[in-house]
Chain A
Amino acid sequence: MKVDKELIKRVAENSRLNLTEYEINEFLPQLKEVLENFELIQKAPTKDLEPSFQPLEIKNITREDKIEKTLSQEDALKNTKHKQNGYFKGPKAI
Chain B
Amino acid sequence: MIIQHYLKDVKKGNVSVKKTVKSILKEAKTLNKKYNCFNVISEDLALSLAEIQEKNPKGRLSGLPISVKDCICVKNVESRAGSEILKDYKPPFNATVIQKLIDEGAIIIGKTSQDEFGFGSFATNTNNIPKNPLDTERATGGSSGGSACFTQLTKNPHVSIAESTGGSIANPASFCGVSGLTPTYGLVSRYGLIDYANSLDKIGIMSKKVEELSPILDIIKGYDKKDSTSLNVKVKQDNKIKKIAIIKEAFEIDPAIKDAVLSNLKDYDVVSLPSVKKYAIPTYYIIAMAEASTNLAKYCGLRYGATLPLKGNFNSFFSEVRSKHFSKEAKRRIILGTFTRMAGFREAYYLKAMKVRTLLINEYKKAFKKYDILISPTMPIIAPNDILISPTMPIIAPKFSEIEKLSPLENYQMDILTVGPNLTGLPHLSVPTGAIGKMPVGTMLISNHLQENKLIEFGKQIEKI
Contacts and interface: CB of A to CB of B under 8 A. Distances in A.
Contacts of B314: 90-93
Contact of B302 (A23, A49, A53, A82): A82
B254 to A, nearest CB: 22
B302 A88 contact: yes
Interface stretch (B54-62, B63-71, B223-231): B223-231
A85 interface: no
Interface residues of B, number: 80
Contact of A80 (B302, B356, B362, B409): B302
A1 B230 CA distance: 39
B407 A33 contact: yes
Nearest to B314: A91
Nearest to B413: A37
B358 A17 contact: no
B282 A37 contact: yes
B352 interface: yes
A82 B307 contact: yes
Nearest to A46: B355
Contact of A50 (B307, B355, B424): B355
A47 B49 CA distance: 56
B352 A52 contact: no
B336 A35 contact: yes
B358 A46 contact: yes
B354 A34 contact: no
B407 A79 contact: no
A61 to B, nearest CB: 5
B310 A11 contact: no
Interface string B300-311: 111111010011
B35 interface: no
B1 to A, nearest CB: 37
B359 A37 contact: no
B351 interface: yes
Given A17-B322, A42-B348, A49-B359, A34 B304 contact: no
Interface in A1-42: 1, 7-8, 11-12, 14-19, 23, 26-27, 30-31, 33-35, 37-42
Contact of B449 (A26, A46, A56, A76): A56
A58 B407 CA distance: 36
A11 B339 contact: yes
Given A42-B348, A82-B302, A58 B355 contact: no
B409 A33 contact: yes
A39 B356 CA distance: 12
Contacts of B351: 51
B331 A40 contact: no
A76 B283 CA distance: 37
A89 B311 CA distance: 11
Given A56-B184, A90-B314, A17 B359 contact: no
Contact of A53 (B278, B293, B307, B354): B354
A15 B225 contact: no
Contacts of B301: 82
B131 interface: no
Given A17-B331, A82-B302, A52 B354 contact: yes
Interface string A39-68: 111101110011111111011110100000
14 contacts: A15-B293, A16-B297, A31-B339, A33-B408, A35-B336, A38-B282, A41-B282, A51-B357, A61-B228, A78-B90, A80-B303, A82-B302, A91-B310, A91-B318
Interface of B: 88-90, 92-93, 184-186, 199-200, 225, 228-232, 275, 278-279, 281-283, 285-286, 293, 297, 300-305, 307, 310-320, 322-323, 326, 328, 331-332, 334-336, 338-340, 342, 345, 348-349, 351-359, 361-362, 407-409, 412, 423-426, 449
Smallest CB-CB A-B distances: 3 pairs:
A55-B425, A51-B354, A79-B304
